[in-house]
Amino acid sequence: MEFSIYIVDDDENIRAILKKVIRDNKLGYVIGESSDGIHGIENIIDLKPNIVLVDLLLPKCDGITIVDKVTSMNRDISFIMISQVDSPNMVGEAYKKNIEFFIHKPINQIEVISIINKVKGNIKMKKIVNSLEKTLHSIMDLKGNDEFGSHKKNKKHKGEKILLELGIIGEAGSNDIIEIINMLMEKNEMNINTISNKKVYEIYDMLKNRYKNLYEKELSIGAFEQRIRRAVGKGLKNIANLGLEDYANDIYMKYSNSLFDFSEVRREMNYIKGKSTHPGKINIKKFIDGIVIEVLNEL
C-alpha cells in the first residue's frame, strides 16, 4: 500500500525538507501542501490523504483546529503534529484531538522517518482490525438463526467470537485456547471459582493429556505454550492499536482490562508510539480466567 501525505506548514523550507525526506525514503507520496490552515482544511477534505503533517502554530487557523474540523467529517485520516512548542497545555489539547505523534522542530530526518512509519503501521493494523470486524459481523448474520444444537457448541462459538474480535482467530494458538475452553466445559470446570484456583501449568498439563487421549497427539507442553503466548501477545498488540485509534472503541473498552493488565496495554500503546523502549507484557493466567468469564457472561 502506497500512502498519500499532505503537509500544512507556513514555513516553505520546512515543507521542502519534509517532502525531500518523504521522497528519498519512499515513505509515501505528497499529494498536496498549503501554508495556512483554511486552505489546508479545504484541500485535506477534498483529497482525503492517509496522513497529514500539520504545524501546530499557523496563521488564520491553528493545527488543533484543523484536526478538529477534519476529523469531525473524516476519522480515517491520521495526523502528525509538527511543533517547536513545549507548552504542556497545548500538547495536552493536541492529544485530546487524537494527535498521537509529534515531529519536533528543527526537523530531524530520523524522527520523521520513524514517526511516519509508525503511523503507517497503525493504519495497516486498523485496516486489518476493521476487516476482522466485518468478517465477524458477517459470521454473526449467517449464524443469527442457528441454535447451535448444544451448550457445548454455544460455548465454543462464544470463545471463537472473542478471539475473532481480538484479531487472533487465525493464529495457531487460538485452537489451543478453544481446546482449553472445551476441556474445562467438559470437565464441569467452566466456572470462575474452579478455574481461578488452577495454576497455568495445571491447565497446560490437562491440555497435554487431552491432546494425547482425545486426538492421539503426543505434544510437549512447550509446543502449545509458545503458540498460546504468541496468540495472546498478538491480541495485546491488536488491542493497543485499537486504543490508539479510538480510545472509546467497544472491543478495546471490553477487553483491555478483562483479558489483559490495563497497565501493560498502556505500556504497549506507548511502545507503539515510540514513547517506551519496552513493550507490554502478557499474563496467560489472567487471559484464560478472563476469557472464561467472558464466555460465561455471553451465555
Give the pLDDT band of residue 130 (cuts 50, 70, 90): low
CB 41 within 8 A of CB 70: yes
Q: What is the pLDDT of residue 83?
A: 83
Three-state SS string over the chain comes to CCCEEEEECCCHHHHHHHHHHHHHCCCCEEEEEECCHHHHHHHHHHHCCCEEEEECCCCCCCHHHHHHHHHCCCCCCEEEEEECCCCHHHHHHHHHCCCCEEEECCCCHHHHHHHHHHHHHHHHHHHHHHHHHHHHHHHHHHCCCCCCCCHHHHHHHHHHHHHHHCCCCCCHHHHHHHHHHHHHHHCCCCCHHHHHCCCHHHHHHHHHHHHHHHHCCCCCHHHHHHHHHHHHHHHHHHHHHHHHHCCCCHHHHHHCCCCCCHHHHHHHHHHHCCCCCCCCCCCHHHHHHHHHHHHHHCC
Same-domain status, 238 and 110: no
In a domain, 141, yes or no: no
Give the pLDDT band of residue 91 (cuts 50, 70, 90): low
In a domain, 288, yes or no: yes
Give the pLDDT band of residue 102 (cuts 50, 70, 90): confident
Q: Which residue has the higher pLDDT, 6 or 181?
A: 6
Highest-scoring range by mean pLDDT, 88-97, 98-107, 115-124, 227-236: 227-236
Please give the average per-residue pLDDT across 84-97, as a whole number. 67
Among left, alpha and beta (phi > 0; psi -120 to 50; other), residue 71 is alpha
pLDDT in tens, 145-201: 444 334 444 445 678 888 988 988 878 888 899 988 888 777 665 555 566 678 888
Same-domain status, 192 and 255: yes
Please give the average per-residue pLDDT across 64-85, as a whole number. 87
Same-domain status, 116 and 17: yes
Same-domain status, 85 and 27: yes
In a domain, 210, yes or no: yes
Q: Which residue has the higher pLDDT, 67 or 91?
A: 67
Does the pLDDT of residue 42 top 50, yes or no?
yes
Q: What is the pLDDT of residue 267?
A: 92
Same-domain status, 162 and 118: no
Same-domain status, 161 and 293: yes
Does the pLDDT of residue 144 top 80, yes or no?
no
pTM: 0.53
Same-domain status, 52 and 175: no
Non-local (6+) Cβ contacts of 250 within 8 A are none
In a domain, 127, yes or no: no
In a domain, 140, yes or no: no
Q: How many domains does the chain have?
A: 2
Q: What is the pLDDT of residue 240?
A: 92
In angstroms, the first-to-last Cα distance of the chain is 41
> What is the CATH number for 46?
3.40.50.2300
* Per-chain mean pLDDT for the chain: 83
Q: Which of 31-40, 49-58, 100-109, 280-289 has the lowest mean pLDDT?
A: 100-109
Same-domain status, 164 and 270: yes
Does the pLDDT of residue 143 top 80, yes or no?
no
Please give the average per-residue pLDDT across 259-268, as a whole number. 93
Q: What is the pLDDT of residue 167?
A: 87
All cell numbers assigned to 22? 518523504
Considering 87, 122, 157, which residue would you say is the last residue of a domain? 122
Query: By residue range, what is the domain housing residue 116?
Result: 4-122
Please give the average per-residue pLDDT across 233-260, as a whole number. 89
Q: Which residue has the higher pLDDT, 250 or 153?
A: 250
Please give the average per-residue pLDDT across 260-267, as a whole number. 93
Q: Which residue has the higher pLDDT, 262 or 247?
A: 262
Same-domain status, 199 and 293: yes
Does the pLDDT of residue 1 top 50, yes or no?
yes
Same-domain status, 218 and 253: yes
In a domain, 17, yes or no: yes
In a domain, 139, yes or no: no
Does the pLDDT of residue 33 top 50, yes or no?
yes
Same-domain status, 214 and 117: no
Q: What is the pLDDT of residue 295?
A: 81
Same-domain status, 12 and 61: yes
In a domain, 129, yes or no: no
Angle at 154 between CA 260 and CA 181, to 5 degrees: 45
* Residues 246, 252, 256, 262, Cα dihedral to 10°: 10
Does the pLDDT of residue 247 top 90, yes or no?
no
Give the pLDDT band of residue 55 (cuts 50, 70, 90): very high
Q: Which residue has the higher pLDDT, 298 or 50?
A: 50
